[in-house]
């Protein structure tokens, strides 16, 4: 399905956003390990629904389609579940996304995993076993999802886990989110220097209800919308915490540079356009790479130079997001330079109209480029790809004033 969005103006609005995909997927895995846990405000994203379905199904063939987090978390979960045989597969793109680092780590713990097609990539044949070792050494710049997958499954291990990370650690907030959730259910851990420990749990996990905070990466599109709107425009989002576990909460600080203020109240944030004075923006997004696309589009439309580093994990997402960003921004008339871990957007004054934006099976490409319609008409190809993380995105945009037409 293609969507055409005509130049729009948003009204002051309130939007309720579904639970964080990152928190939801972690808690779903913990709930599978400890069924006495209950979860409220789960994400309604495709990824979380696929994760839930995979954890509850009895079939030995598990297909998680495009859900990269689910692939990583479920690899660790099934590999650590004794007397359990599973074939874990996914979409064509999923079969191109590397998983060797996680598989090697699990094998070093005593797990039995083999590749069905290409070495280092899904699909995987997994025979679940108890861990026979409790120490793993990983390069610190790997995806934090590999690290979180190991930490979460270690919560059930009799020996716990010592994880040593070599080099500069990527996405620290996501690791801390995982450890905080473990702490909330009663599993002790430590994170000192480049060593993380999950302590073997000697006590039973108590019954507990955990409430998922709304997704900050989904909020990013509203930060962009407010940044591109008239002075005084306000949008209120719920439910959010000032002391969020999510790395993407750095949005509130970043978007001050695009003239947006953020006011925290009880479980809500109100975004307001307060300034139209901008300076070149330089950001290190090593702890929050998923918001890079949104920021790049905001800077493009405002004509602000933007240099972002720490983006090396974007090359192994749903698509190579750096190449995709460069391609689509240049179609709109922008000038972009990229390498393996950074993007430089030159200031640009005039946007081309009626451009068709390719989305590359990537939900964030569709949502990040939608706010362009506040200035010029634009078409979003394969628009329903947003269901991966935010199924009601287009309905919510229509409700705040966007003029959408299905082609």
Give catalytic residues, as residue numbers. Answer: 290
Give the ranges where 157-287 is alpha helix by DSSP (H). 172-185, 216-227, 251-254
**Alpha-carbon distances, residue 332 vs 143, 228, 297 (angstroms):** 31, 16, 10
Owner of token pair 């997927």: 25
CA 56 – CA 144 distance, rounded (Å): 25
Q: Which value, to the nearest 10 degrees, does the dihedral of the CA atoms of residues 108, 110, 112, 115 take? A: 0
Instruction: Return the ∠ at Cα 291 (arms to 329 and 94), rounded to 5°.
Output: 85
Q: What are the residues whose beta carbons fall under 8 Å from the beta carbon of 100, sequence distance 6 or more? A: 119, 120, 121
CA 40 – CA 63 distance, rounded (Å): 25
CA 29 – CA 34 distance, rounded (Å): 9
**Contact criterion met (CB below 8 Å) for 287 and 251:** no
Burial annotation 193-232 (CB, 10 A radius, 16+ → b, else e):
eeebbbebbeeebeeeebebbbbbbbbbbbbbbbbbbeee
Q: What are the residues whose beta carbons fall under 8 Å from the beta carbon of 237, sequence distance 6 or more? A: 14, 15, 16, 17, 214, 219, 222, 268, 269, 270, 271
Cis? peptide before 123, omega within 30° of 0: yes
Could you tell me which of 146, 149, 88, 99 has the C-alpha nearest to residue 121?
99
- Tell me the three state secondary structure of residue 113: strand
Q: What is the CA radius of gyration of the chain?
A: 21
CA 388 – CA 48 distance, rounded (Å): 9
Phi, psi of 164 (to 5 degrees): -105, 125
CA 156 – CA 288 distance, rounded (Å): 28
H or E element in which residue 21 lies: helix 21-33
- Tell me the three state secondary structure of residue 244: coil
Q: Which two tokens stand for residue 377?
A: 């008409």
């Amino acid at each position: 399905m293609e969507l055409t969005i005509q130049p729009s103006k948003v009204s002051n609005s309130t939007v309720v956003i579904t639970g964080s995909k990152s928190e939801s997927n972690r808690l779903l895995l913990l709930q599978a390990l400890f069924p006495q846990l209950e979860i409220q405000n789960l994400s309604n994203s495709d990824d979380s629904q696929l994760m839930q379905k995979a954890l509850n199904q009895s079939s030995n063939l598990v297909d998680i389609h495009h859900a990269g987090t689910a692939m990583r978390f479920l690899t660790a979960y099934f590999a650590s579940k004794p007397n359990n045989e599973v074939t874990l597969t996914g979409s064509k793109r999923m079969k191109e996304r590397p998983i060797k680092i996680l598989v090697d780590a699990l094998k070093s713990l005593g797990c039995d995993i083999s590749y069905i097609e290409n070495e280092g990539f899904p699909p995987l044949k997994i025979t679940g076993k108890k861990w026979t070792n409790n120490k793993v050494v990983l390069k610190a710049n790997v995806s934090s999802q590999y690290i979180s997958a190991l930490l979460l499954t270690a919560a059930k291990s009799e020996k716990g886990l010592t994880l040593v990370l070599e080099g500069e650690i990527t996405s620290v907030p996501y690791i801390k989110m995982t450890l905080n959730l473990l702490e909330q259910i009663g599993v002790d851990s430590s994170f000192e220097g480049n060593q993380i420990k999950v302590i073997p749990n000697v006590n039973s996990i108590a019954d507990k209800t955990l409430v998922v905070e709304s997704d900050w990466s989904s909020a990013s599109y509203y930060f962009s919308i407010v940044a591109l709107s008239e002075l005084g425009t306000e949008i209120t989002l719920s439910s959010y915490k000032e002391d969020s576990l999510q790395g993407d909460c750095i949005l509130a600080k970043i978007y001050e540079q695009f003239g947006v203020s953020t006011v925290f109240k009880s479980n809500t944030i109100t975004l307001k356009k307060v300034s139209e004075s901008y300076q070149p923006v330089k950001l290190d997004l090593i702890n929050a790479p998923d918001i890079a696309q949104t920021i790049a589009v905001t800077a493009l439309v405002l004509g602000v130079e933007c240099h972002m580093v720490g983006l090396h994990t974007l090359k192994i997402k749903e698509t190579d997001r750096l190449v995709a960003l460069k391609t689509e921004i240049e179609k709109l008339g922008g000038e972009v330079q990229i390498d393996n871990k950074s993007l430089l957007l030159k200031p640009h004054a005039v946007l081309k109209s009626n451009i068709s934006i390719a989305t590359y099976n990537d939900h964030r490409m569709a949502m990040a480029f939608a706010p362009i319609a506040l200035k010029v008409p634009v078409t979003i190809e394969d628009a329903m790809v947003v269901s991966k993380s935010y199924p009601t995105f287009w309905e919510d945009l229509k409700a705040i004033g966007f003029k959408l037409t299905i082609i």
